[in-house]
Amino acid sequence: MRTLGMLGGMAWPSTAEAYRAINEGVAARLGGHHSASLLIASLDFAEVAALQTAGDWKAAGELLADTAVRLEAAGADGLMLCTNTMHRVAEAIEDAVNVPLLHIADATAERIRADGVTSVGLLGTRFTMEQDFYRRRLEAAGLEVLVPPTAERELVHRTIYDELVAGQVREDSRARFLAVIDGLAGLGAEGIIAGCTEIELLVGPGHVALPYYATTALHAEAAVAWMLEA
């Protein structure tokens, strides 16, 4: 089994969910008392969030790249970034290490294409929805990517940062998210991407009529497959 280094803490609920999913996946594949070989670096999200708000992606990339280097030095054979938004600095991480970074958008796009879906609605932080680092990766895989209107993007972003990163799950927020999803379906979305790992705490596949792509789960599945390839 390969050892996976997890860059986490952005925010901690999504890292906890990824840790659980990877260990469950390894146990399901190998049986017995098996669990995953993992190294975890959990950052202080307040520091990362401040850099996001300031738009200082260079400093954010340096912070995560330094953490990735330390994980590699500790014995990680590959890396997983336990957040969608911070894939904004994926290239800085990849340039700093000699081991692969398993990209969350690649795992997501692979499943969407396998399902025959060609048009998807993307929910996430404002950075993920409005910047092109994530959308570009999906479009390169042949997908049409739709995002909500400005006011709804702000609603989604605010809910993530004010509630979900602190582990708060509110029914009224779920209802608002489902209304946003209905709007994306009206624009032609054939499926919905939960492009922020915390969104999965609020909206699950059972809440949505369209195919629903929970990126944490898909990323974890890809990580398990990679860990057990060797």
Catalytic position from the list 15, 67, 82, 83: 83
Query: 79: phi > 0 → left, psi -120 to 50 → alpha, else beta; which?
Result: beta
What does the H/E/C string look like for 122-143? EECCHHHHHCHHHHHHHHHCCC
Q: How far apart are CA 167 and CA 197, in angstroms?
A: 12
* Parallel, antiparallel or unpaired: strands 101-102 and 4-8: unpaired
For the question of residue 67 being annotated catalytic, the response is: no
> What does residue 34 show for φ and ψ, rounded to 5 degrees?
-65, 145
Catalytic position from the list 196, 197, 215, 216: 196
206 DSSP 8-state letter? G
Q: In what order do the strands lie in the sheet with 144-146?
A: 144-146, 119-123, 191-194, 212-214
CA distances to 40, 119, 143 from 51, rounded to whole Å, are 21, 32, 30
Nearest by Cα to 162 from 49, 14, 18, 8: 49
For the question of residue 85 being annotated catalytic, the response is: no
Cβ within 8 Å of residue 20, ≥6 positions away:
none
User: Where is 221: in which H helix or E strand?
Assistant: helix 215-227
List active site positions.
Answer: 83, 196
